[in-house]
Amino acid sequence: MSIVVLDFGGQYAHLIANRIRRLRVHAEIRSPETAVADLQDADGLILSGGPASVYDPEAPAYNPEILAMGKPILGLCYGHQLICHRLGGQVEMGETHEFGAAYLHVHKAEGVLAGLDVRERVWMSHRDHVAALPPGFAVLGATEDCPVAAMGDAERKIYGLQFHPEVTHTVRGMDILDNFAALCGAERNWTMERYTEQTIKRLQEQAKGRNVFLFVSGGVDSSVAFLLLNRALGTERVLGLHIDNGFMREGETAMVERLMKGAGLHNLEVVDASAEFLAATAGIADPEEKRRQIGEEFIRVRDRALAALALDPDEWLLGQGTLYTDTIESGGTENAAVIKTHHNRVGVIDQLLAEGKVVEPLDQLYKDEARTLGETLGLPHHLVWRHPFPGPGLAVRALCSDGPDSESADNGLAHETVAEAQKVAATFGLALDVLPLRSVGVQGDSRTYAHPAVVTGQREWKTLEALSTELTNNFPSINRVIYLLGPTPRPQQNIKAGYLTRDRLDLLRRADTISMEALERHGLMEEVTQMPTVLLPLSSDGVQESVVLRPIATSDFMTADFCPLPQAFLDDVCERLLALAGIEAVFYDITHKPPGTVEWE
Give the DSSP per-residue string, 465-511: HHHHHHHHHH-TTEEEEEEEEESSSPP--EE--B-S-HHHHHHHHHH
Does residue 491 contact residue 585 with C-beta atoms inside 8 Å? yes
Q: Is 329 a catalytic residue?
A: no
Closest residue by Cα to residue 153 from 108, 105, 116, 122: 108
Residues ≥6 apart with Cβ < 8 Å to 546:
493, 535, 536, 538, 539, 583, 584, 585, 586, 587
Catalytic residue among 26, 77, 146, 601: 77
**How far is the C-alpha of 279 from the C-alpha of 202, rounded, in Å?**
38
Residue 513: per-residue pLDDT: 97
* Cβ-based burial of 485 (10 A; exposed 0-12, middle 13-18, buried ≥19): buried
**How far is the C-alpha of 209 from the C-alpha of 194, rounded, in Å?**
23
**How far is the C-alpha of 439 from the C-alpha of 152, rounded, in Å?**
39
Q: Which helix or strand (DSSP H or E) is residue 74 part of? A: strand 73-76
Residue 24: per-residue pLDDT: 94
Q: Is 420 a catalytic residue?
A: no
Catalytic residue among 14, 85, 126, 164: 164
Cα–Cα distances (Å) from 7 to 20, 79, 390, 444, in that order, read: 15, 9, 26, 15
Letter for the amino acid at 496? Answer: K
Q: What global pTM score does this model have?
A: 0.68
Catalytic residue among 98, 120, 166, 599: 166
Residue 388: per-residue pLDDT: 75
Residue 133: per-residue pLDDT: 96
In degrees and rounded to multiples of 5, residue 382 shows phi and psi of: -65, -30
Q: Is 416 a catalytic residue?
A: no
Q: Indicate the SS3 state at residue 204.
A: helix
What is the number of residues in the chain? Answer: 601
Letter for the amino acid at 435? Answer: L
Cβ count near 581 (within 10 Å): 7
Does residue 212 contact residue 313 with C-beta atoms inside 8 Å? no
Letter for the amino acid at 495? Answer: I
- For the chain, residues with pLDDT lower than 50 are 327-333, 335-346
Q: Indicate the SS3 state at residue 102.
A: strand
**How far is the C-alpha of 74 from the C-alpha of 160, rounded, in Å?**
6
Residues ≥6 apart with Cβ < 8 Å to 220:
367, 370, 371, 374, 383, 384, 385, 386, 388
Residue 407: per-residue pLDDT: 59
Domains assigned to the chain: 2-184 (3.40.50.880), 192-392 (3.40.50.620), 415-589 (3.30.300.10)
